[in-house]
Amino acid sequence: MPEPWRILPRMRDTVILGGGVIGAATAYYLSLRGIESTVVERRAVASGASGTAAGLLSAPTPADLRQPWGSLAGQSLALHFDVAAALDGPATYDFEPIDTVLIAVSEPERRELLQVFGEAAWRDAAAISSRCPWLQASAILGGVVRRGSAQLDPARFTQTLLDAARAEVIIATAESIAVASGLVTGVVVAGASHGASTVILAAGPWTAETATLLGVEVPVSPLKGQILRMEVPNAPDGAFSDLAGNYVVRKRNGLIYTGTTEEDVGFDETPTAVVERQILASASALAPIIAGGKVVERTACLRPLSADGTPIIGAVPGVAGAYLATGHGRKGILLSLATGRALAELITDGESEFVDLAPFSLQRFAAEVP
């Protein structure tokens, strides 16, 4: 009888290392181009940030659009609406169009919002608290309404993409990537060798470790974020966030998600009581109804943050058939679809017409070396 670690299905020619939302989106768009893929995930589908994120898809601000990833965000948000229509998002992964409110709690924040959005978009505290009943008018100066946003269940979204792609998912660890004459020729997974001509590294903050299989340095590190899932009696619908990135959102299942943090603590995924108290205090100061709620789950996830804060998407220099998709930070769910579509175009056509991938190339870091 074969040893258990040898009992694996025959893998496909395109292998994606990482079973999170970025890998799933890439598998989905590859499938639309007739390419079937095998996804290798060491734990479980959406077991990292893709399974514990809030799933809030905020429309990019004018300031966001000036960032290197800004156009990617705008196009990806539009794709979310398209894919939700194609895959019955409201039923399959709780996709829901919403408006979000971005608030200012200090004069410097008010000036920042005015600079970014303009005087015409500004609403005073009374108008904002009326629009978003979560908020206590006396706790804020005002804010702006970000129309055209959405929310979803990120774990179900990830699984839906993989199902739509008919991707083969293997729960195992990739041990090596075979390269001959500068070309990817295969991978070794759970002790067994498999031929492959295309390998996509999309393992979130673990991509840096995975890239060592190719002898490549990828400047990505984990950024820990903690979120509380709560039951709050009589909680209103809607969502709001502040300029520090904290938010409160009511999900379609009735739970309230609030957070989050940005912690540089390595690969520690443990939720902490100290942070729970901090999140509750911050949220309750703005939305007093939170204080009467009950925390039913604490989650912590590790987002992949690149050295310059911009995603890394594109070919691995010097290794034909190897690609990277990582470093999306706190915007992985939002940016997933544009990333997957652009990478699928790059793999099949040699370039992406959808997104200019030059700003996302790994080679930008090599240019910084004297």
Looking at the domain that runs over 4-51+156-219+308-365, which CATH code has it been given? Answer: 3.50.50.60
Ranges of H-type helices in 287-360: 332-349
Residue 320 is classified by DSSP as: B
Reported as a single tens digit per residue, the pLDDT across 32-60 is 999 999 999 999 999 999 999 999 999 98
User: CA 28, CA 19: separation in Å to the nearest integer?
Assistant: 12
CATH for 98-149+222-305, among 3.30.1360.20, 3.30.9.10, 3.30.70.940, 3.30.70.240?
A: 3.30.9.10
Q: Where are the domains of the chain?
A: 4-51+156-219+308-365, 98-149+222-305
Give, for 17, the enclosing helix (H) or strand (E).
strand 14-17
Amino acid at residue number 199: V
| Whether the Cβ atoms of residue 137 and residue 127 lie closer than 8 Å to each other | no
* Residue 367: predicted pLDDT: 60
Q: Which long-range contacts (CB under 8 A, 24 or more apart) does 180-183 make?
A: 182/318, 182/319, 182/320, 183/319, 183/320, 183/321
- How large a percentage of the chain has pLDDT more than 70? 96
Amino acid at site 350: G
Q: How many CB atoms are located within 10 Å of the residue 364 CB? A: 17
d(CA 62, CA 120) in angstroms, rounded, equals 14
H-only helix segments in 70-229: 70-86, 89-93, 107-117, 125-131, 154-165, 207-211
Rg from Cα positions in the chain: 21
- What pairs with residue 100 in β-bridges? 146, 239
Q: Measure the CA–CA gap between 23 and 60, rounded to whole angstroms.
A: 23
Query: Model-level pTM greater than 0.85?
Result: yes
Q: Is residue 260 reached through a cis peptide bond, with omega within 30 degrees of 0 on the bond before it? A: yes
Token pair recorded at residue 208? 């840096």
For 193-241, what is each residue's pLDDT tens digit?
Answer: 999 999 999 999 999 999 999 999 999 999 999 999 999 999 999 899 9
Q: In terms of DSSP bridges, do strands 312-315 and 322-326 run parallel, antiparallel, or are they unpaired?
A: antiparallel
For 189, the token pair is 């997974």
State which H helix or E strand residue 275 sits in.
helix 273-286
Q: What pLDDT, on a 0 to 100 scale, did the predictor assign at position 230? A: 98
Give the tens place of pLDDT for each residue, 241-270: 999 889 999 999 999 999 999 999 999 999
